[in-house]
Structures are given as C-alpha cells and as structure tokens.
Amino acid sequence: MPRFSANLGFLWPDRPLFERIDAAAAVGFRAIELHWPYDIPAEPLRERCENHALTVLGLNTLIDPGKGEFGLGAVEGRQADFQAGFARAAAYARAIGAGSVHVMAGDVAPDRKAAAAELFADNLRWAAGQAPDLTLLLEPLNARDRPGYFYATVGEAAGVIAKVGAPNIKIMFDAYHVGVTEGGVVERLERYLPLVGHVQIAAVPSRAEPDEGEVDYAAFFRALDRLGYGGWVGCEYRPRAGTDEGLGWPSTLGVAL
C-alpha cells in the first residue's frame, strides 16, 4: 500500500505553516513536502516535524513570481543566480532534514530550447556534484497550467537525466501533470519507474482530490504496489472545499494515510 505525504504548499492553505504541520500529523500523514518555506527559520521547522514524528521529504528551489520567474535552471544569463539559489535550497533542505530538492527549470522561449537544454544539463551537473547527499528532482509541468515552461513530458525529463548522467537526479512523477499533458499515466509510470524518485497525485483535469476525474487512482495505487515502488506519494492537490472535509478520498480509493 502506498505511503502518502501531505504537500503543504496546497493543503490547509488558510493556515500558517506550523499549523499546517500540526494538521497533517493530526489526520494521520507521516510525511510532508514543501514548496518554498524559506521565510521560516529552519531549526524550529525541523523541531516541529520531529515532535510529530513527521518525515520531511523535500522542497523546491526558489522562484520569483514578481519577476515572472518560475525557476532558473534552464534560463540563460542566470547561472550565478541559479547556483546561489540552489546552494540556499540545499542548505535549507539539510537543515530541516529533507532528502530532496526539486530543481525548477524556468520558462524558456521555443527558439531557445536547444541552448537551454545544454545550460540546464550544465547546471544540473554542477548541482549534483555540490549535493551528492540529496536527490535532485526534475518535474515537467503541463503547458495548460504553465505555458512556456522548459519541459512538459516525462520523456523530456528522462532525456535530461541521460544527458547529465548523475545518479542522484531523478524524476518527480506528478500523475496530474502527466495526465494533463500525455495521458496513459500507468503506462508511463511502468516505462519510467527506474528513474522515478518521487510520485505526486491530483485529479485530472481539476487538480482536486484524487477521487474524481480521468485517472483511476485506485488502479494507479495498485500499479505502484505491483511495480514495487517504495517511496512516498505526495498529495499535491487543491481541495474542493476545506482540506479536512475532503479527506474521505483514501477510504473511497481503498487506501489509508
């Protein structure tokens, strides 16, 4: 049976982060994952999670929405900024006891994709060498939600991994993004599982709780078991109403938090 983590970027969004941590533990989650917690001192955050016996999985590299930026890994002319941001993310991850960092690629114009691919590979080689103790996660984002992002398919992420050749770089297999972009979620999971470092879920196309929509998540969870996936499954969905009110989905799908 899959093990589920609470993505506190999306769940209990009406509460401060420490209260979200408390809420996740209270309903039975045994792990959490974060988006951009950098405004919270690392040590108290780690202590809060330890008090609840919660495993902290990972976080994202910095973004700057005010500048229209959604990562810098593949953005030309920003290599120094990428390195500084990654160093900060890696240090923060270690300080809170997290084992992974999602390295965000950023937006790239179509006519700059080839150059951006080389830059992203160079940046990832550097980052992988700087943080051999961490797993670096690559997550393609669907073009409906994030038009212009560097990549949208699992195959593209696999190609980046092959180009870089670092053992600590893995795919963040977000079934929501895969479903919106490509469909065939289970088939792609089967194909790319050896490269998968983390799995996330949400309904397709609504991004709500995973008990609706185009992806049969009961079948998806059975596939994870059949394939021997031993990692966590991140609940990165936007609740239809309140987070607590929507937590009937595990029972509906025959799983438990």
CATH of the domain at 233: 3.20.20.150
The CA-atom distances, in angstroms, between 238 and each of 8, 12, 25, 224 are: 11, 9, 19, 22
Q: In this structure, are residues 58 and 102 in contact, taking their beta carbons and an 8 Å threshold?
A: yes
Domain range enclosing 68:
3-253
170: which DSSP letter? E
Tell me the whole-structure pTM to 2 decimals: 0.97
Is 236 noted as a catalytic residue in this protein? yes
The pLDDT value given to residue 105 = 98
Task: Exactly one of 139, 190, 214, 245 is catalytic; name it.
Answer: 139
Read off the pLDDT of residues 128-179 as tens digits, 9 standing for 90 and up: 999 999 999 999 999 999 999 999 999 999 999 999 999 999 999 999 999 9
Task: Exactly one of 33, 50, 118, 236 is catalytic; name it.
Answer: 236
Q: Which residues on adjacent β-strands are paired with residue 48?
A: none
Work out how many domains the chain is built from and give that number: 1
Is 33 noted as a catalytic residue in this protein? no
